[in-house]
Structure 1
């Protein structure tokens, strides 16, 4: 009997799984493309793009909650859509019927795709579109003004808006509602609005009281803007996206890249917000803990018994605070962020050490508040959530797990 080859078995399983998911994507992509082709003659390019995004969201959401083997990822579904469009163009070329409509739909879809899908499909665009249309599709929707932003009182929830060219020439404003309270910076909502004021009003209502006084100002700190509008890889998703989030999954990333590129060309990187790195925070907080009477034991030194030293406590607290990669966002503190870190500490560390970290969390909050200038009443509200009780509304999904993509009220 031949000996089993584990690597070969894994490879074969992956091959069958890819074939299965590709077939599932094709089953949904065909009817979706045909419906768009049928509707296209009566719609503007904006209408067609909006409907494509809505149908993409519905198609992707149908895979959520099912067996793992049936979960098609976004880039595989896009490839299925492009394959169907390729077939429909060839069919129209052979029949001589409806070619312009299919080419127009291909151009609209191409303009939505973010990198790297937009680059990988360039040969398809070049084959089926004339040079000018292919260039417009590859370039995508043009940004026609500077980005603006607003943030809530805690500084951890942001609205970024930017104007883009539209079919009727008036322009539309795209909104990104960005939450920096989790382990990653996440756009929890996005979409087009007729005005910047309309986008801001919707964002204020969704965020709640902490955003009531927020106003739009020029997005003049390109380093922070780059940190907020992240997300280039289509196949990687945080998980837990709803249908609305999937509807903007592609467009949000494509337009975000356009805004970042325009901001980088138009102005030098500014530094208008307080910055704090995790390493600096750990060093400064350790000194603070020593002044408060915590042991001055060197980092990592085993003591046998007793509480951890100030250096270890500060280092682990700083490392547990997010997002560590972005010093301009790192020091912000909110009840949502505090509640999330309490869950992380209790889940990641052994019970005794987790309890020590939770015990110093109020002091960590006050340390950050001094750095950012957060008011006493907002600081107190953050401290109120430092024990893990009460539980922050909307922090957990229906399975009792923290959800990065939930659009919470701050």
Structure 2
């Protein structure tokens, strides 16, 4: 068992009283997310390794034991961990939510005899997506927002959930959160994404292919950078659950999410190589090295989110530079030749994509500068 497990369980139990202030399902959901998120931050800061699902199973067991102990001795400290079980049921994926509910059912008889509980507590696991979805994309094309509607039974406590996706390198949900409505979530995302998102407005999603960024989002708690945002960690469990909820709602609407397929390999780069070569001849009067352009194009398209082929944000440039820096010793010459072409590659993609000049200038500057460390967490997406 990872060393952070037991201290994190103890701290969660010690701080569980915060959930008692929740006056409705959404408030309990939010309090639960933040309470657990603090311990996931502890895990990342100490180990940069997750095992988050395993820890949640152990936490549920710890909550049940605390409740049973308090009830057996006639103590009053059972209510906070009891409510926390239902909070977990609202944010955890079904397999983990069922563990929390099973623990609650095993204690229900004694708890009911102890005190009245709000009726909405037993509806926490029944939150569902409405099927309404909106999307936003920044000017570069590699930072996306998906905003989805959610509500509890009988449309109680309606809200929207924001998935803030960075597709500059590994496709990651770098921020997330629950908001009152679409305009509030959109404003929050523009603030997170920075200047490249200025003026972006949410548009209704009418085709499931528009949600490929969610299909390909990589949430692996075994390999963490240590720079994950607090909102990403606070919503780690809730993101997974809301993705499940959204997929179910879209399927019921006849708009199932597309199957996940590999984004690596199988790209026909010949047309791109030919087009860039022609542009380079027109600009410089001579062609670039064919091998360097082929290497550049091959690396650029590997792992690229469909629709972002011409996207050249400063963040993606840094990612690409890091990839070239990791090329094997025998490819040093090819990497150097490709790096020399990178500023022109960015200029050419900028022209094709129509990226505003003031934003393109930041990408070109990144391509011309000494390679900087790439931030996998997406926190440096904004210029």
Structure 2 partner of 1:218: 204
Q: Structure 2 matches for 1:326-345, cutoff 5 A?
A: 326-345=305-324
Shift in Å, 1:215? 0.4
Cα shift readout 1:208-257 (whole Å, capped 9, x = no counterpart): 22211100101233224142365586643532224332111111221133
State how many pairs are aligned: 359
Question: Is 1:403 aligned to 2:382, yes or no?
Answer: no
1:29 corresponds in structure 2 to: 9
2:194 is the alignment partner of 1:208:
yes
- Residue 112 of structure 2: aligned partner: none
Q: 1:133 to 1:87 in 2, by over 3 A?
A: farther
| Equivalent residue, structure 2, for 1:175 | 162
Q: Is the 8 A contact 1:225 1:260 kept in 2?
A: no
Change (3 A) 1:282 1:140: farther
Structure-2 change in CA distance of 1:84 and 1:206 (3 Å): same
Q: Between the two structures, name the one with larger relative contact order (CA 8 Å, sep ≥ 6).
A: 2
| Cα displacement (A) at 1:134 | 11
CA distance in 2 between counterparts of 1:335 and 1:209 reads 12
Query: Matches of 1:283 and 1:90 in 2, distance apart?
Result: 67
Aligned position for 2:38: 58
Specify the alignment match of 2:346 in structure 1: 365
Instruction: Please tell me the root mean square deviation across aligned C-alpha atoms, in Å.
Output: 3.8
Please give the secondary structure, in 2, of the residue aligned with 1:403. Answer: coil
> How big is the shift at 1:51?
2.0
1:387 aligns with 2:368: yes
Can you list the C-alpha shifts for 1:166-210, whole angstroms capped at 9, x where unaligned? 69934122222211112x111221112222111211222232222
Tell me the secondary structure at the aligned position of residue 147 of structure 1.
Answer: strand
CA distance in 2, matches of 1:376, 1:405: 23
TM-score of the pair, normalised by structure 2: 0.77
SS at match of 1:327: coil
SS state at 1:321 partner: helix
Q: Corresponding residue for 1:43? A: 22
**Aligned mates of 2:382, 2:165 — CA distance in 1:** 12
- 1:357 deviates by 0.7
Identify which of 266, 269, 274 aligns with 2:253: 266
With over 3 angstroms needed to count, the CA separation of the structure-2 counterparts of 1:148 and 1:376, relative to structure 1, is same
1:7 matched residue in structure 2:
none
Change (3 A) 1:231 1:96: farther
Name the SS of the counterpart of 1:143 in structure 2.
strand
Aligned equivalents of 2:172 and 2:200: distance in 1?
Answer: 20
Tell me the secondary structure at the aligned position of residue 130 of structure 2. coil
In structure 1, the residue corresponding to 2:128 is in which secondary structure? Answer: coil
Residue among 49, 61, 66 paired with 1:83: 61
CA contact (8 A) 1:190 1:245 kept: yes
- With over 3 angstroms needed to count, the CA separation of the structure-2 counterparts of 1:269 and 1:72, relative to structure 1, is closer
SS in 2 for 1:173: strand
- Runs of 5+ consecutive residues of structure 1 not aligned to the other structure: 1-17, 295-306
